[in-house]
Structure 1
Protein backbone atom coordinates (compact mmCIF):
# COMPACT_ATOMS: atom_id res chain seq x y z
CA UNK A 1 0.00 0.00 0.00
CA UNK A 2 1.12 3.53 -0.73
CA UNK A 3 1.25 6.14 2.03
CA UNK A 4 -1.71 8.02 0.57
CA UNK A 5 -3.81 4.84 0.69
CA UNK A 6 -3.81 4.89 4.50
CA UNK A 7 -6.90 6.52 5.99
CA UNK A 8 -4.95 7.78 8.99
CA UNK A 9 -2.49 9.62 6.76
CA UNK A 10 -5.29 11.26 4.78
CA UNK A 11 -6.99 12.32 8.01
CA UNK A 12 -3.70 13.69 9.33
CA UNK A 13 -3.05 15.74 6.17
CA UNK A 14 -6.56 17.13 6.28
CA UNK A 15 -6.32 17.89 10.00
CA UNK A 16 -3.06 19.80 9.54
CA UNK A 17 -4.49 21.92 6.69
CA UNK A 18 -7.77 22.56 8.52
CA UNK A 19 -5.97 23.43 11.76
CA UNK A 20 -3.68 25.87 9.92
CA UNK A 21 -6.67 27.51 8.22
CA UNK A 22 -8.59 27.72 11.49
CA UNK A 23 -5.55 29.13 13.34
CA UNK A 24 -5.35 31.94 10.76
CA UNK A 25 -9.04 32.72 11.21
CA UNK A 26 -8.66 32.94 15.01
CA UNK A 27 -5.40 34.92 15.00
CA UNK A 28 -7.12 38.37 15.15
CA UNK A 29 -8.81 37.24 18.38
CA UNK A 30 -5.51 36.08 19.90
CA UNK A 31 -6.76 32.58 20.65
CA UNK A 32 -5.84 29.14 19.35
CA UNK A 33 -8.18 26.43 18.06
CA UNK A 34 -7.69 24.56 21.35
CA UNK A 35 -8.61 27.68 23.31
CA UNK A 36 -11.69 28.09 21.11
CA UNK A 37 -12.64 24.54 22.08
CA UNK A 38 -12.60 25.61 25.72
CA UNK A 39 -14.58 28.78 25.03
CA UNK A 40 -17.19 26.83 23.12
CA UNK A 41 -17.75 24.49 26.08
CA UNK A 42 -17.72 27.06 28.90
CA UNK A 43 -20.55 29.36 29.85
CA UNK A 44 -20.89 32.50 31.93
CA UNK A 45 -23.71 31.18 34.10
CA UNK A 46 -23.24 27.41 34.34
CA UNK A 47 -20.18 25.95 36.06
CA UNK A 48 -18.02 23.37 34.33
CA UNK A 49 -15.34 21.46 36.22
CA UNK A 50 -11.85 21.01 34.81
CA UNK A 51 -12.53 17.27 34.57
CA UNK A 52 -15.76 17.83 32.60
CA UNK A 53 -13.96 20.24 30.32
CA UNK A 54 -11.09 17.81 29.71
CA UNK A 55 -13.60 15.10 28.78
CA UNK A 56 -15.58 17.45 26.52
CA UNK A 57 -12.54 18.48 24.47
CA UNK A 58 -10.80 15.10 24.79
CA UNK A 59 -7.59 16.40 26.36
CA UNK A 60 -5.73 15.27 29.46
CA UNK A 61 -6.33 17.35 32.58
CA UNK A 62 -2.74 18.59 32.76
CA UNK A 63 -3.03 20.12 29.29
CA UNK A 64 -6.40 21.63 30.15
CA UNK A 65 -5.00 23.22 33.31
CA UNK A 66 -2.26 24.90 31.24
CA UNK A 67 -4.81 26.18 28.70
CA UNK A 68 -7.12 27.42 31.48
CA UNK A 69 -4.21 29.24 33.12
CA UNK A 70 -3.46 31.01 29.82
CA UNK A 71 -7.11 32.02 29.39
CA UNK A 72 -7.23 33.22 33.00
CA UNK A 73 -4.24 35.49 32.36
CA UNK A 74 -6.13 36.98 29.40
CA UNK A 75 -9.17 37.60 31.62
CA UNK A 76 -11.37 35.22 29.61
CA UNK A 77 -11.94 32.46 32.17
CA UNK A 78 -12.46 32.46 35.93
CA UNK A 79 -11.70 29.51 38.15
CA UNK A 80 -13.34 29.01 41.56
CA UNK A 81 -12.79 26.25 44.10
CA UNK A 82 -15.67 23.76 43.96
CA UNK A 83 -18.13 24.04 46.87
CA UNK A 84 -17.99 20.40 47.94
CA UNK A 85 -14.72 19.11 46.43
CA UNK A 86 -11.86 21.43 47.34
CA UNK A 87 -9.55 19.61 44.87
CA UNK A 88 -11.82 20.57 41.98
CA UNK A 89 -12.49 23.92 40.33
CA UNK A 90 -15.57 25.37 38.68
CA UNK A 91 -14.85 27.23 35.48
CA UNK A 92 -16.84 30.13 34.05
CA UNK A 93 -16.40 32.56 31.21
CA UNK A 94 -15.87 36.13 32.34
CA UNK A 95 -17.82 38.96 30.71
CA UNK A 96 -14.81 39.40 28.42
CA UNK A 97 -14.94 35.67 27.62
CA UNK A 98 -18.66 35.79 26.84
CA UNK A 99 -18.11 38.77 24.54
CA UNK A 100 -15.17 37.04 22.83
CA UNK A 101 -17.18 33.84 22.34
CA UNK A 102 -19.99 35.80 20.66
CA UNK A 103 -17.50 37.55 18.34
CA UNK A 104 -15.63 34.37 17.42
CA UNK A 105 -18.66 32.12 16.84
CA UNK A 106 -19.60 33.68 13.45
CA UNK A 107 -15.97 33.33 12.33
CA UNK A 108 -15.96 29.67 13.36
CA UNK A 109 -19.23 29.04 11.52
CA UNK A 110 -17.88 30.78 8.40
CA UNK A 111 -14.67 28.70 8.61
CA UNK A 112 -16.76 25.54 8.88
CA UNK A 113 -18.80 26.51 5.81
CA UNK A 114 -15.63 27.35 3.89
CA UNK A 115 -13.95 24.04 4.75
CA UNK A 116 -17.05 22.01 3.86
CA UNK A 117 -18.13 24.03 0.83
CA UNK A 118 -17.60 21.12 -1.59
CA UNK A 119 -19.68 18.73 0.52
CA UNK A 120 -23.46 18.32 0.55
CA UNK A 121 -25.29 18.23 3.88
CA UNK A 122 -25.66 14.48 3.45
CA UNK A 123 -21.92 14.09 2.84
CA UNK A 124 -21.15 16.14 5.96
CA UNK A 125 -23.51 13.95 7.97
CA UNK A 126 -21.92 10.77 6.56
CA UNK A 127 -18.39 12.09 7.16
CA UNK A 128 -19.21 12.80 10.81
CA UNK A 129 -20.67 9.31 11.22
CA UNK A 130 -17.59 7.70 9.65
CA UNK A 131 -15.19 9.78 11.76
CA UNK A 132 -17.12 8.82 14.91
CA UNK A 133 -16.70 5.14 14.00
CA UNK A 134 -12.97 5.57 13.37
CA UNK A 135 -12.62 7.45 16.67
CA UNK A 136 -14.49 4.70 18.53
CA UNK A 137 -12.23 2.07 16.96
CA UNK A 138 -9.06 3.68 18.36
CA UNK A 139 -10.45 5.38 21.48
CA UNK A 140 -9.44 2.52 23.77
CA UNK A 141 -5.76 2.79 22.81
Structure 2
Protein backbone atom coordinates (compact mmCIF):
# COMPACT_ATOMS: atom_id res chain seq x y z
CA UNK A 1 0.00 0.00 0.00
CA UNK A 2 1.31 3.44 -0.93
CA UNK A 3 0.98 6.55 1.21
CA UNK A 4 -0.84 8.38 -1.58
CA UNK A 5 -3.56 5.70 -1.46
CA UNK A 6 -4.33 6.18 2.23
CA UNK A 7 -7.47 8.24 2.78
CA UNK A 8 -6.29 9.47 6.18
CA UNK A 9 -3.04 10.76 4.69
CA UNK A 10 -4.87 12.57 1.86
CA UNK A 11 -7.38 14.15 4.25
CA UNK A 12 -4.65 15.22 6.68
CA UNK A 13 -2.42 16.62 3.93
CA UNK A 14 -5.33 18.63 2.56
CA UNK A 15 -6.35 19.83 6.02
CA UNK A 16 -2.84 21.07 6.78
CA UNK A 17 -2.57 22.99 3.50
CA UNK A 18 -6.07 24.46 3.79
CA UNK A 19 -5.50 25.48 7.42
CA UNK A 20 -2.24 27.18 6.42
CA UNK A 21 -4.02 28.96 3.55
CA UNK A 22 -6.85 30.23 5.78
CA UNK A 23 -4.39 31.15 8.54
CA UNK A 24 -2.52 33.33 6.06
CA UNK A 25 -5.76 34.98 4.87
CA UNK A 26 -6.96 35.73 8.43
CA UNK A 27 -3.61 36.68 9.99
CA UNK A 28 -3.84 40.39 9.16
CA UNK A 29 -7.13 40.50 11.10
CA UNK A 30 -5.52 38.76 14.11
CA UNK A 31 -7.98 35.87 13.88
CA UNK A 32 -7.17 32.17 13.54
CA UNK A 33 -9.30 29.74 11.53
CA UNK A 34 -10.51 28.26 14.83
CA UNK A 35 -11.51 31.69 16.11
CA UNK A 36 -13.29 32.36 12.81
CA UNK A 37 -15.36 29.24 13.52
CA UNK A 38 -16.39 30.76 16.83
CA UNK A 39 -17.31 34.05 15.16
CA UNK A 40 -19.55 32.15 12.75
CA UNK A 41 -21.36 30.36 15.58
CA UNK A 42 -21.83 33.34 17.91
CA UNK A 43 -24.31 36.14 17.43
CA UNK A 44 -24.94 39.52 19.05
CA UNK A 45 -28.53 38.68 19.97
CA UNK A 46 -28.72 34.95 20.74
CA UNK A 47 -26.90 33.54 23.76
CA UNK A 48 -24.71 30.49 23.22
CA UNK A 49 -23.34 28.44 26.09
CA UNK A 50 -19.72 27.30 26.18
CA UNK A 51 -20.98 23.71 25.90
CA UNK A 52 -23.04 24.52 22.78
CA UNK A 53 -20.07 26.29 21.26
CA UNK A 54 -17.74 23.38 22.00
CA UNK A 55 -20.17 21.01 20.29
CA UNK A 56 -20.64 23.32 17.30
CA UNK A 57 -16.91 23.67 16.60
CA UNK A 58 -16.08 20.12 17.74
CA UNK A 59 -13.57 21.07 20.43
CA UNK A 60 -13.33 20.10 24.09
CA UNK A 61 -14.63 22.64 26.58
CA UNK A 62 -11.19 23.34 28.06
CA UNK A 63 -9.89 24.40 24.64
CA UNK A 64 -13.00 26.50 24.03
CA UNK A 65 -12.54 28.32 27.35
CA UNK A 66 -8.98 29.30 26.31
CA UNK A 67 -10.20 30.43 22.89
CA UNK A 68 -13.03 32.46 24.44
CA UNK A 69 -10.60 34.08 26.88
CA UNK A 70 -8.40 35.15 23.96
CA UNK A 71 -11.37 36.60 22.05
CA UNK A 72 -12.60 38.31 25.21
CA UNK A 73 -9.22 40.02 25.63
CA UNK A 74 -9.56 41.29 22.05
CA UNK A 75 -13.07 42.54 22.96
CA UNK A 76 -14.63 40.37 20.24
CA UNK A 77 -16.68 38.14 22.54
CA UNK A 78 -18.72 38.97 25.63
CA UNK A 79 -19.18 36.37 28.36
CA UNK A 80 -22.16 36.97 30.67
CA UNK A 81 -23.07 34.79 33.63
CA UNK A 82 -26.21 32.75 33.02
CA UNK A 83 -28.89 33.92 35.49
CA UNK A 84 -30.55 30.47 35.61
CA UNK A 85 -27.28 28.57 36.14
CA UNK A 86 -24.56 30.58 37.88
CA UNK A 87 -21.92 27.98 36.85
CA UNK A 88 -22.60 28.67 33.18
CA UNK A 89 -21.88 31.63 30.92
CA UNK A 90 -23.72 32.94 27.89
CA UNK A 91 -21.54 33.98 25.00
CA UNK A 92 -22.28 36.77 22.56
CA UNK A 93 -20.36 38.62 19.88
CA UNK A 94 -19.56 42.17 20.92
CA UNK A 95 -20.27 45.00 18.50
CA UNK A 96 -16.58 44.81 17.56
CA UNK A 97 -16.96 41.06 17.01
CA UNK A 98 -20.03 41.49 14.83
CA UNK A 99 -18.25 44.17 12.80
CA UNK A 100 -15.27 41.83 12.33
CA UNK A 101 -17.55 38.95 11.32
CA UNK A 102 -19.29 41.14 8.75
CA UNK A 103 -15.93 42.38 7.41
CA UNK A 104 -14.44 38.87 7.18
CA UNK A 105 -17.45 37.13 5.62
CA UNK A 106 -16.70 38.18 2.00
CA UNK A 107 -12.96 37.54 2.51
CA UNK A 108 -13.55 34.01 3.79
CA UNK A 109 -16.13 33.41 1.05
CA UNK A 110 -13.57 34.45 -1.60
CA UNK A 111 -10.97 32.16 -0.01
CA UNK A 112 -13.49 29.30 0.00
CA UNK A 113 -14.29 29.96 -3.65
CA UNK A 114 -10.56 29.91 -4.42
CA UNK A 115 -9.89 26.52 -2.81
CA UNK A 116 -12.95 24.98 -4.47
CA UNK A 117 -12.53 26.61 -7.89
CA UNK A 118 -11.83 23.31 -9.65
CA UNK A 119 -14.90 21.62 -8.15
CA UNK A 120 -18.45 21.82 -9.44
CA UNK A 121 -21.30 22.50 -7.04
CA UNK A 122 -22.21 18.79 -7.25
CA UNK A 123 -18.63 17.78 -6.43
CA UNK A 124 -18.59 20.13 -3.43
CA UNK A 125 -21.82 18.57 -2.20
CA UNK A 126 -20.41 15.06 -2.73
CA UNK A 127 -17.22 16.02 -0.90
CA UNK A 128 -19.23 17.30 2.07
CA UNK A 129 -21.23 14.07 2.16
CA UNK A 130 -18.12 11.89 1.94
CA UNK A 131 -16.29 13.85 4.64
CA UNK A 132 -19.38 13.67 6.86
CA UNK A 133 -19.45 9.88 6.46
CA UNK A 134 -15.74 9.61 7.29
CA UNK A 135 -16.24 11.85 10.33
CA UNK A 136 -19.26 9.84 11.53
CA UNK A 137 -17.16 6.67 11.38
CA UNK A 138 -14.42 8.01 13.66
CA UNK A 139 -16.03 10.74 15.79
CA UNK A 140 -16.55 8.56 18.85
CA UNK A 141 -13.33 6.56 18.56
- TM-score of the two chains, using structure 2 as the length reference: 0.99
Q: 1:94 aligns to what?
A: 94
User: Residue 51 of structure 2 corresponds to which residue in structure 1?
Assistant: 51
After superposition, residues 26-105 of structure 1 pair within 5 angstroms as 26-105=26-105
Please give the alpha-carbon distance, in whole angstroms, between the structure 1 residues aligned to 2:104 and 2:21.
Answer: 15
- 1:3 counterpart residue number: 3
TM-fit CA distance, 1:72: 0.2
Matching residue of 1:126 = 126
Q: Deviations over 1:48-77 (max 9, x none)?
A: 000000000000000000000000000000
Whether 1:115 aligns to 2:115 is yes
The gaps in structure 1 that reach 5 residues or longer are none
Give the secondary-structure state (helix, strand or coil) at the position aligned to 1:104.
Answer: helix
Cα-Cα RMSD = 0.5
Query: How far apart in 2 are the matches of 1:54 and 1:135?
Result: 16
How many residue pairs are counted as aligned between the two chains? 141
1:28, CA displacement in angstroms?
1.2
Q: CA deviation at 1:16?
A: 0.4
| Deviation at residue 140 of structure 1 after TM alignment | 1.3
1:83 CA drift (Å): 1.3
Q: What residue in structure 2 maps to residue 23 of structure 1?
A: 23
TM-score, with length taken from structure 1: 0.99
Write out per-residue CA displacement over residues 80-129 of structure 1, whole angstroms, 9 at most, x where no aligned residue.
11111111100000000000000011111001000000000000000000
